[in-house]
């Protein structure tokens, strides 16, 4: 097993966010367990059947939305992990990212389609996840906490 900590640091976890229902803002938590081929325990999006097990969005993207006058915070775009200092837009499908000490995710989707305006759009006024969020499938699980390092592999 390759440990996530063997890669160079490229950012950190600014917030971990979960919700019991899909399509809703997520609530920040201090730590969580990510399960291999499933996602974050206790989150509505965790699933063996999906390639979108965990979603990531940068705090920089959220700050960009704040600059337009929106009152938004980590979790408001339904992202599971809000990153800080990681250039998510430079990643491509198949890129691997170490999350904390042990967890590893593989980028499975960049952005998403929104065929109808979801609750997030109506609550936040826009949805930056459409163009700047990424989704990963979990290759290796582990415990993660706010402030943990992220490493692009």
Per-residue pLDDT tens over the stretch 46-103: 987 789 999 999 999 999 888 888 888 999 888 999 999 999 989 999 999 999 999 9
**What CA–CA distances, in Å, run from 151 to 10, 21, 74, 86, 127?**
5, 29, 20, 8, 26
83 vs 79: CA distance, rounded Å:
10
Chain-centroid distance, C-alpha 99? 10
**Whole-model pTM?**
0.88
Residue ranges of domains in the chain, CATH in brackets: 4-152 (2.40.33.20)
63 vs 71: CA distance, rounded Å:
10
């Amino acid at each position: 097993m390759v440990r996530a900590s063997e890669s160079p640091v490229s950012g950190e976890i600014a917030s971990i966010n979960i919700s019991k229902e899909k399509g809703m803002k997520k609530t920040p938590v201090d730590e969580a367990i990510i399960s291999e081929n499933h996602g974050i325990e206790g989150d509505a999006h965790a699933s063996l059947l999906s390639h979108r097990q965990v979603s990531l969005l940068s705090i920089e993207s959220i700050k960009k939305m704040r600059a337009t006058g929106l009152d938004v915070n980590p979790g408001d775009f339904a992202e599971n992990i809000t990153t800080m200092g990681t250039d998510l837009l430079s990643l491509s499908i198949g890129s691997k990212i170490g999350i904390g000490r042990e967890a590893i995710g593989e980028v499975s989707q960049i952005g998403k389609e929104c065929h109808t305006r979801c609750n997030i759009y109506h609550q936040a006024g826009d949805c930056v996840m459409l163009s700047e969020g990424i989704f990963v499938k979990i290759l290796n699980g582990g415990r993660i906490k706010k402030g943990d390092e992220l490493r692009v592999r």
